[in-house]
Amino acid sequence: MPDQLLFAIEVTLNGLMAGVLYALVALGFVLIFKASGIFNYAQGVMALFAALTLVGIMEGQVPFEHLINATFGTEIHGFGWEVPALLAILLTMVTMVLFAWLVNWLVLRHLVGQEPIILFMATIGLAYFLEGFGDMMWGSDIKALDVGLPQGINSWIDETTLDLFGYGFFIDNLDIAATIIAAILVAVLVAFSQYTKQGRALRAVADDHQAALSVGISLNFIWVLTWSIAGFVALVAGIMWGTKSGVQFSLSLIALKALPVLMLGGFTSIPGAIVGGLIIGVGEKLFEFLVGPLVGGATENWFAYVLALIFLVFRPQGLFGERIIERV
């Protein structure tokens, strides 16, 4: 096989795995948008906050350490224990559910029936609040996250491809793990939404609020549930991204990559979020590989947005979108 083709295949595989992450973040958006018509600007920051909380709990940090020390003149530096990854993930999930409940109780409950743009503004406020709150709670330094996911080059793939093609593919174990986890997550979400009472209620609310109320579904419960699931998806995305590049502010910016994914996949389609994420992931890597050298590189910064723009012009409802996006 010619080298160019092998490189291209390798790039495609890596792109697919980057796409998985975009898809996950986009999924968080879609879930909330479907159930409540809210475009949740804070989805990216939720991933950051979840990752921060996870690291904080694992390392035994005392929440609001700085604040407590500054206010009371104390010298607290952590609890002095470490929490195992699995337990810490559970505790973080509890935190995200609590967060979901608070958002509904303190903010969204009071905005029922408001214009979508008002709800959108509210989530912008929420995003900045959560960013500052996360910093205050856990500190703003860059943190390494290691929950025990495998990392580094997968030597089996490297050796096998070397034997077969005379060229070893570089595939990161973390990317493989991320892909598997994301696939499981999606499968669980689908099973949840298709087969459980709560999932059916969620689909009902996404379809028609009045009708949902009339069959005895509590909208508040469903909204807390969706935000909790979105929090869970954010946590998974946060773990993957945080393991790869450390837990830091830039993590919240992956949300910006989710935007073109949503334009491709449609704001209301779960399969759309997944396929859209993969297309953007592969597209931007391949484009950089093929066209990047001709135009001086750095195409990954804009490729996704241009692709989204083209889609907006020719197919504004996205690949699988159910209706024209008129809410954002």
Partner 1 sequence: MKDTADSHVTEDGRTIGGTLLDLRGITLRFGGVEAIKNISFDIRQGEIRAIIGPNGAGKSSMLNVISGFYNPQEGEVWFRGEKRPAMKPFQVARSGVARTFQNIALFDGMSVLDNIMTGRLNDMHAGLVAQMIWKGKAEREEVENRARVERIIDFLEIQHIRKTPVGRLPYGLKKRVELARALAAEPDLLLLDEPMAGMNVEEKEDMSRYILDVNDEMGTTIALIEHDMGVVMDISDRVVVMDYGRKIGDGTPDEVRNNPQVIDAYLGVAHD
In angstroms, the CA 133 to CA 78 distance is 18
Tell me the backbone φ, ψ of residue 172, rounded to 5 degrees. -80, 135
Tell me the backbone φ, ψ of residue 119, rounded to 5 degrees. -65, -40
In angstroms, the CA 216 to CA 315 distance is 37
Among 9, 176, 181, 204, binds partner 1 (CB under 8 A): 204
**Nearest CB to partner 1, comparing residues 18 and 273:** 273
**Nearest CB to partner 1, comparing residues 140 and 198:** 198
Which range of residues in 15-23, 76-84, 191-199, 311-319 is near partner 1 by CB under 8 A? 191-199
Per rule CB under 8 A, is residue 314 in the interface with partner 1? no
Rg of the Cα trace of the chain?
21
Q: How far is the CB of 85 from partner 1 (least distance, A)?
A: 22
Structure tokens that stand for 70 in this block: 């500054």
Among 112, 188, 306, 310, binds partner 1 (CB under 8 A): 188
Among 91, 121, 136, 219, binds partner 1 (CB under 8 A): 219
- 260 near 280, Cβ under 8 Å? yes
Residue-wise DSSP of 283-307: HHHHHHHHTHHHHTS-GGGTHHHHH
Per rule CB under 8 A, is residue 71 in the interface with partner 1? no
Which range of residues in 3-11, 53-61, 125-133, 201-209 is near partner 1 by CB under 8 A? 201-209
Q: How far is the CB of 206 from partner 1 (least distance, A)?
A: 8
Per rule CB under 8 A, is residue 94 in the interface with partner 1? no
Measured CA angle at 200 (ends 194, 201), to 5 deg: 160
Give the binding site for partner 1 (CB under 8 A): 188, 191-192, 195-198, 200-201, 203-204, 206-208, 210-219, 322
